[in-house]
Amino acid sequence: MHTVVVGTAGVTVSDVLAVARADARIELSQEAVAALTAAREIVDALAAKPEPVYGVSTGFGALATRHISAELRAQLQRNIVRSHAAGIGPRVEREVVRALMFLRLKTVCSGHTGVRPEVAQTMADVLNAGITPVVHEYGSLGCSGDLAPLSHCALTLLGEGEAEGPDGVVRPAAELLAEHGIDPVELHEKEGLALLNGTDGMLGMLIMALADLDRLYKSADVTAALSMEALLGTDKVLAPELHAIRPHPGQGASAANMLAVLKGSGLTGHHQDDAPRVQDAYSVRCAPQVAGAGRDTLAHARLVAERELASAVDNPVVLADGRVESNGNFHGAPVAYVLDFLAIGAADLASIAERRTDRLLDKNRSHGLPPFLADDPGVDSGLMIAQYTQAALVSEMKRLAVPASADSIPSSAMQEDHVSMGWSAARKLRTAVDNLTRVLAIELYAATRAVELREGLTPAPATRAAITALREAGAEGPGPDRFLAPDLAAAEAFVRDGRLVASVEAVTGALQ
């Protein structure tokens, strides 16, 4: 099994995905253990002084003015975990919780939090055992970090609350720790606060969304190419020299992908046949411009994610010169903005895909295809309602594109009077990514059926490979009306797990 070694300099995107989605094992580097030990010595020295230090010998948030005596500090750390584990609603996904815990461990190992090495090792042990704390949908405002979600994770380290075992069954955390030989931790000064104060949930969901959207933007280039073929469009608009004079990188990449997919097509370029037209509709002609803008948004979001991965997000932080200083690095604005931006791009990509699907189904705009791609129009309804389903998904995605980060709601007796709502931005982006997958699957299903209905014209080798693979995956081709939901589900799975892109790349080579 793949092993991820956590040091002091952060982790990589591939590390996060390996732990969250592939259950990679975690080890702490000797460098991390040394940094943890050194930072803890600083905290212990400050804890022994009579002067109050925030997070070490004071209360938290609006209660930070109270100096806490030494005999109450362990109780203080337990209490902050228990009281902040106040989430409510449905459980969030296992991969999200694993990413959340792993990214908190990453910051702990930076040596800027003051957490003891044994606490960090327990975090790694819990992840390695496949124990997943129960974390709820609601509870984070994305400022002071993802407080409630991280608190539920910290509660498991104490042997309290509930968690899911490696068998998928939710049980008391104490039982699961005991079964795997893991001793619950007894928190010391600052440790409770350090386990809660980070942007780890929203960052983990950003990283996973970036991986999914990278595949979906390639998928969208393929489905757009298939629709262009089915509508007898012209691939001249994809010429590199046209995109070179508007040099947005994403646009050029999308156009190059579409051109590669359409190489050798016998369907493109029939503008002057029976129904002459000068130009294709925007949804066909401007596909690279829209998908390209989304790709450039992805590039910006990756940059933000990489910077956040290299960050130590906590308050207060332990500095190398021995100071423990308060700060505002827990504010989720940088991550929240790009989460919202990605949802906007995904909604627009879905919107243009739905417009192409509608054009394929409309006999007045499809250049010779039967109404709704039906076998016997009137007796058969064809894909009429599949487009309704797609339109419903797109409509929801437009609502999800309303930015969460433009909102703020004060908390903690107005001490925390401006928050990022980054967790909410991440949660709605996950829904948007799922819906985009379904929208592209429906375009794929319609476009492949339309291409097959173009008798006497030969599709490109790459699109032909996609059609063959889709049919083998269980999504049937043209014919009389049948129960359609299983076909659409098969198409969705085909897009979601990457088989669409893989089938095309087997012919074209790697897409951009």
Active site residues: 54
What helix, strand, coil percent values describe the chain, rounded to 5? 55, 5, 35
Amino acid at 414: M
**H helix runs in 231-332, sequence order:** 240-244, 249-262, 282-285, 287-309
**How far, CA to CA in Å, does 208 sit from each of 18, 39, 292, 315?**
11, 31, 20, 26
Cα 93 to chain centroid, rounded: 12
- Is 285:241 a contact under the CB 8 Å cutoff? no
Return the SS3 of 183.
coil
> Which residue, among 172, 216, 166, has the nearest Cα to 495 in the 3D structure?
216
**How far, CA to CA in Å, does 57 sit from each of 60, 88, 190, 193, 304?**
10, 30, 8, 11, 34
Q: Which residues contact 124 (CB under 8 A, 6 or more apart)?
A: 6, 26, 27, 28, 105
Q: Which residues contact 455 (CB under 8 A, 6 or more apart)?
A: none
Separation CA 136–CA 423 (nearest Å): 12
